[in-house]
Structure 1
Amino acid sequence: MRTHSSFKRIRLSEILHPETAERFAAIGDYAQIHLYSLVLASQNIPHKIQRDKRGPFTLSVQQKNLQNALAQIVLYDQENPPSKENPPLAFRLSLSPLIVLIVPIIFTLFQFSSRGSRFYHTGISDAEKILAGDWWRPITALTLHGDAHHLVSNLISGYVVLNLLAFRLPLSRIAFPLVVASAIANFFVALSLQQNFRALGFSTFVFCALGALGAIEFRLMPRTFHGLLRRFAPLFSTLLLAVFLGIGEKSDILGHFYGFALGIFVGFLPRKKFLLWGRKPTPADFFLWILYFAIFLIAWFRAILLSL
């Protein structure tokens, strides 16, 4: 019979040799007992659902129907094998985050080269120029950094967050939405400040990915966790981590906030069943990666053309 993380059920051997609970066909949470009730109802087996402190619900039948009821429940479970809703995953290091991070690495290296000043001036997120029509800057600014320390810190934090996301789904399925959300976050910063503000760095993307991670883990929390605080623990945890990482003398705090908030919406885009059971890469993922790289190439192509 199905097991549940929060409730103990009577095993079949215990039911077949009853003393005090000789009429119990099953004990468990209401959702499972209700499901078994439908199974018995489909076979016209009289039964009733009662509250029980051990369950807290029991499915009881008359003694003469007990064997038939148990047989139907066992048959149902054999035909519908249970799967854990949110199984624990063994820790592993994935290479897929490197595909995402190769973009800021390449463009920042160009920026640090002898001809990098042109990249810096045409790609940095400048609030006034963005509002004047430089649509590419919220995208190109993600690939630029102030110095090597800035780049390395974003790469390390980015890898950690993306590696955790890779536990749940192929990063190709979420990389492009994260770029779009990050660009929108940079645009919202420009819209909020409007002038005398310039920013750059991949951190907006990292915070967007952190928000998506919190939303995904929130969606996968077992429903038997009672209380809002427990259900919202993943969102609270990632929010506190975002606050801890996002505060600094030169940090784009507003960009981090917008990125995290928009990332939460991105975390609700994948279908839940793909998050629960995982999804192996397919040929379509190759084209999704092309889409991810294309948005940066198109933005930089427009920026470089303007600078010629």
Structure 2
Amino acid sequence: MATGAHGRVMEAGLVLASQNIEAAVVHTTDPQRWQLVVKPKDLLVARAQLLQYTRENRHRRWRQSFAGRRFEFDWQSLVWVFLMAGCYFFQAHGSLAIQSLGDFYSPAVRSGEWWRAVTAEFLHVDLRHLASNATTGLLFFGVAMAEYGAGTALLAATLCGALANFAAMWFRSMPYHGLGASGMVMAALGLLAVRSFRLQDWRARPALTISRGFLAGVFLFILHGFNPSSDVLVHTLGFGLGAAAGVLLSPIAENPGRQARWDALGKWLFVGVVAVAWGCALWPAAQRGLER
């Protein structure tokens, strides 16, 4: 019923075996291709099971497994990098002063411009600032997307970064400006830091699992988040909120079927949140243009 490379046909056979459907992997006339043979009475059920498996694992086509390691990398994180680069291009070369319209200016946020907590995540001071966040974000988002699903990880990190911007404001009395994606990047690292709690080793050797997993995430956070020239408070809050979100999202991370169902929803919600935030930020400039 299914033909292809040996590895893919074997994978299909394992799916059917998990459902107690007998299947045999045999050669085709082409020595490079194999086929899966099932009993006629099981054909319809087998096709339905393989279709469901394919549907639930479509998002994995972007993923790359690392030999000898229990994690994957999702190359959809490149989309996030291109998005950040595109925003910086318009920030540097666009006709609108989007930095002043979208950065996290605390007096403006206190007066009701909540969207700045989101829009500030897509702005950067200079190319060096962008490159720093893009390189670390590519790595952290790549693993977080493979762990939770691309849409879920992207939405969670964005919201945690925005909440970190809000929370940091309440620790500061003086007016200040803030911008950059580092809060959401640290939130992505926080999502990864609690990954070890879901491994089987956690139940057998909890102390060792924490030392290898969560503390490794903490050390990475110290390495990347404690730059004296950066906003350490936002980084710390983003990391903590990301870790909390990772615990709450454990049911999704543990179930590939749930990942597939939440992935598209997370992506659409991310697009909606970003579109609404930037719409609110750019609307005053659009109004002024219409009045001229």
TM-score (normalizing by structure 1): 0.65
> 1:103: Cα distance to partner?
3.0
C-alpha separation in 1, matches of 2:207 and 2:73: 32
> 1:226: Cα distance to partner?
3.2
Is contact 2:81-2:134 (8 Å) kept?
Answer: yes
Aligned to 2:146: 167
C-alpha separation in 1, matches of 2:239 and 2:71: 24
Cα-to-partner distance string for 1:195-221 (whole Å, 9 max, x where unaligned): 232111111000001011111223325
For the pair shown, the structure with the greater C-alpha radius of gyration is 1
Bigger Cα displacement from structure 2, 224-233 vs 210-219 = 224-233
1:294 is aligned to 2:272: yes
Cα-to-partner distance string for 1:256-278 (whole Å, 9 max, x where unaligned): 00000100111012244x43453
C-alpha separation in 1, matches of 2:256 and 2:147: 6
C-alpha separation in 2, matches of 1:248 and 1:231: 25
Aligned residues: 220
Cα-to-partner distance string for 1:225-280 (whole Å, 9 max, x where unaligned): 435354353221111111111122420100000000100111012244x4345348
Is contact 2:149-2:253 (8 Å) kept?
Answer: no
Aligned to 1:203: 182
Letter in 1 for 2:233: L
Q: Aligned-pair RMSD on alpha carbons?
A: 2.4
Query: Where in structure 2 are there 5+ consecutive unaligned residues?
Result: 1-66
Letter in 2 for 1:185: A
Aligned to 2:7: none
Q: Superposition pairs for residues 129-148 of structure 1, below 5 Å?
A: 129-148=108-127
1:96 is aligned to 2:76: yes
Letter in 2 for 1:211: G
Q: Aligned to 1:193, what secondary structure does the other structure show?
A: coil
Letter in 1 for 2:169: A
Query: Where in structure 1 are there 5+ consecutive unaligned residues?
Result: 1-86
> 1:296: Cα distance to partner?
1.0
Cα-to-partner distance string for 1:14-54 (whole Å, 9 max, x where unaligned): xxxxxxxxxxxxxxxxxxxxxxxxxxxxxxxxxxxxxxxxx
> 1:283: Cα distance to partner?
6.8
C-alpha distance 91-236 of structure 1, shift in aligned 2 (>3 A): closer
Give the fraction of aligned pairs with identical amino acids, expressed as a percent.
24
Whose helix fraction is larger, Structure 1's or Structure 2's? 2
1:216 is aligned to 2:195: yes
Letter in 1 for 2:245: V
Is contact 1:211-1:263 (8 Å) kept?
Answer: yes
C-alpha distance 265-199 of structure 1, shift in aligned 2 (>3 A): same
Is contact 1:131-1:194 (8 Å) kept?
Answer: no
C-alpha distance 300-227 of structure 1, shift in aligned 2 (>3 A): closer
Cα-to-partner distance string for 1:42-96 (whole Å, 9 max, x where unaligned): xxxxxxxxxxxxxxxxxxxxxxxxxxxxxxxxxxxxxxxxxxxxx9646765321
Letter in 1 for 2:160: A
C-alpha separation in 1, matches of 2:253 and 2:265: 20
Q: Superposition pairs for residues 57-96 of structure 1, below 5 Å?
A: 89=69, 93-96=73-76
Letter in 1 for 2:146: F
1:126 is aligned to 2:105: yes
Aligned to 1:112: 92
C-alpha separation in 1, matches of 2:132 and 2:276: 26
Is contact 1:207-1:263 (8 Å) kept?
Answer: yes
Q: Superposition pairs for residues 232-271 of structure 1, below 5 Å?
A: 232-271=211-250
Is contact 2:88-2:124 (8 Å) kept?
Answer: yes
> 1:298: Cα distance to partner?
0.7
Aligned to 2:134: 155
1:303 is aligned to 2:281: yes
C-alpha distance 306-195 of structure 1, shift in aligned 2 (>3 A): farther
> 1:182: Cα distance to partner?
1.0
TM-score (normalizing by structure 2): 0.68
Is contact 1:215-1:267 (8 Å) kept?
Answer: yes
C-alpha distance 281-222 of structure 1, shift in aligned 2 (>3 A): closer
> 1:130: Cα distance to partner?
1.2
Is contact 1:128-1:194 (8 Å) kept?
Answer: no
C-alpha separation in 2, matches of 1:217 and 1:90: 10
Q: Aligned to 1:268, what secondary structure does the other structure show?
A: helix
